Structures are given as structure tokens and as C-alpha cells.
Amino acid sequence: MVPAGSATVLSMIQKRTLLIFLCALSLCAPLLPAQEQMPSYALSQLAEGIADGPAVLRSDLAQIALDEMALEYAREAEQARTEMRRWKKKASLARWSGEVQKLADHYADLAVTITPATPIDIRTGPDGSLYLHVAGQLVVVTIPRMNEQYAFEQQIAARFCEINHCADLVDEPVPAVPAKRPVLRAKTLWSFSQDAGPTCSSPDGLEFMYRNTDNLGQKRETCARVVGELKVLAKAIEGEIATGARVDWQRLAIHTLAEGGEQVILNGTGDTLVLSLPTLAPRPELLKRIRPWLTAKVNGTPYTLVILHAEQLLAPAKQ
């Protein structure tokens, strides 16, 4: 028997797949001529425009956002299950897949409960992050892969504007602009509890626990960058060890180079690496705390590391 949430997610994926198939057969035409295509809007702009507007608009946006989140989290869970069949580290992937699928089912179930009468509060953060309070329950509109957040938000905005005349809701379309400079980010999973603050976790055992949701957009960005850079660092160290280098974990340090990039000190005998680790370099205390996890990661050993009061070690990353 397929759980209710899973069935809902599967139904949404099947519908979208069918639509793509029909379009491939030229059975669907553009809704508007090329010169009359709808302008694109930033999701944060739409959210601000309807925050105090009619309840039906808030319910439309919340339901679409939850639909899209359910689809993205379900895809992430399926990808983890696919990777499990190819890689040895199945325990961590199984845990990650289970956690992500649980969220996918939850968002799908929550989406189908929304009606125009459902109490919904919509707010945006200073960085444009979208927050929903659905019947008192906080939902941060985000997906595990931060590098795909821009396209994800544009998909929500496009779907919303297909059923609502967005030109009447905002003054002028202000399309979101993706970051010009590429930034390394890893996929992370955020969970929220009534008894504790938010937690940012990675598929391979890192858990950063925060006290509250203040500046949550900045916390998401910093956590995604830290996890991404740690993965790069671990892979590079693993490669150096394979060539015969020795790592003195107590001496491991990262320094910013004047000409750009960061230098990783592997030991006291002169072995170094030059990598791009701009988020880790100014956080030496974090590197010390992370050493047990990093050692295990390099050695291919599963390891879970919980960092309490993460805001003390992960100051906001510069946008």
C-alpha cells in the first residue's frame, strides 16, 4: 500500500510527465504568442504583493509552493535511492532518503488541506526568502539544493501567475536575478521543531542546530556553503593521502592567500593544498570542531556530528 502523501506526490509527478509528453508531441501550444508571453516576477515580489490581500490569493500561492516543494523533495529522495544502488555508503543515503521523503509526503499532505478558509500568513525575509505560516505551522519555502533555488522559485511564480493576473497585484515586474558569481553550495535538509530551533543537516552526518529562526535565509546560505566546502576539502585530502601525503589532523589549517584562493596546511612538513574555501577560511574554530567528522569522511567511515548553538560558529556568509 502506498502512503497517502506518497500517492499525492506520485500523482503530481505523473501529471507533469504526461504534460511534457503531450507537448513533445506538439499537442500543447503556447498559451500566448511569443511577443505576448507573460512577464516574469520575483517570488518575493509576489509574496509581498499579496501578503495582506485576499485569502484566496494566499491560499493559491501556499498550495503551489507546497506542491513544488513536495515534488522537489520526492525527486531528491528518489535520487538518493538511485545512488544507494551505486555507492557503498548506503546507511547515510538511506537515512537521508527517508528524511527527505518524509518531508515530501508532509508537504504534499499539507498542500491538499489548504482551502481559502485556511489561515495563511505570508512573509519575506530581508534576503527575499519566503516564509509561510499555514494554520500556525511554519514552512520555509526552500529545497535541498540551494544552487537550484532560483529556478524553483521562478517555477512557483510562473504557476501562480498562470491562474492569477499578476499585473494587477504588483506595480512592475521585477524578475529575480540569479547570483552572478558562482558559489559552491551543497544540498542540505532543514527541519523545525516546536521544542528546539531549526536544524541544518547533510546526507553524510553533519547536523547544525540553531537556537532560533532569526535571519534564517542567511543561516541557510552559510550552512549550504560550509557543507559544500567541507565536501571539497575532504575529497582533496583523500586524493593527497592516495598519493602518499600524511595528514596531521591537529595541524590542519586554512589560510587565505593574498593572490586569491585558500591554502590548506596538511602537516608540518610542507604538504599543502590550494582550494577555494572562502566560507571555511575565516572560521578556524569550526574547522577544529569538525575534525572528527572530516577524518571519518576521508577514511570512508560513517560519522554523525551534532553542532549545538551553530550560530556561534557559523556567522552569516556574505551574499
Task: Encode pLDDT of 128-144 as tens digits.
Answer: 789 999 998 889 898 88
Task: Encode pLDDT of 24-82 as tens digits.
Answer: 333 333 433 433 455 678 899 999 999 999 999 999 999 999 999 999 999 988 988 88
> To the nearest 5 percent, what fractions of the chain are helix, strand and coil?
50, 10, 40
More confident residue, 12 or 219: 219
Q: 3-state DSSP call for residue 199? A: strand
Percent of the chain with pLDDT over 70: 80
pLDDT value at residue 1: 43
Under the banding of pLDDT at 50, 70 and 90, the label for residue 297 is very high
Query: With 50 as the cut, is the pLDDT of residue 17 above it?
Result: no
pLDDT value at residue 2: 42
The mean of the pLDDT values for the chain is 82
Are the C-beta atoms of 307 and 289 separated by less than 8 Å? Answer: yes
Q: Alpha-carbon distance 175 to 177, whole Å?
A: 6
Amino acid at residue number 9: V
Are the C-beta atoms of 47 and 124 separated by less than 8 Å? Answer: yes
Model pTM score: 0.62
Query: With 80 as the cut, is the pLDDT of residue 174 above it?
Result: no
For residue 192 the three cell numbers come to 523545525
Mean pLDDT of the 236-256 span: 89
CA dihedral 77, 300, 254, 221 (to 10 degrees): 10
Query: With 50 as the cut, is the pLDDT of residue 10 above it?
Result: no
Please name the helix (run of DSSP H) or strand (run of DSSP E) that holds residue 71, with its range, or none.
Answer: helix 55-84
Rg over alpha carbons for the chain, rounded to the nearest Å, is 22
Q: Which of 19, 108, 23, 18 is nearest to 72 (CA)?
A: 108
Query: With 50 as the cut, is the pLDDT of residue 194 above it?
Result: yes
Non-local CB neighbours of 217 within 8 Å, separated by 6+ positions: 125, 126, 127, 128, 129
Under the banding of pLDDT at 50, 70 and 90, the label for residue 269 is confident
3-state SS string over 109-124? HHHHHCCCCCCEEEEE
For residue 94 the three cell numbers come to 538511506
For residue 168 the three cell numbers come to 494587477
Q: Alpha-carbon distance 83 to 95, whole Å?
A: 13
Query: With 70 as the cut, is the pLDDT of residue 278 above it?
Result: yes
Under the banding of pLDDT at 50, 70 and 90, the label for residue 14 is very low
For residue 255 the three cell numbers come to 589560510
User: Which range among 38-42, 167-171, 203-207 has the greatest average pLDDT?
Assistant: 203-207
Query: With 70 as the cut, is the pLDDT of residue 181 above it?
Result: no
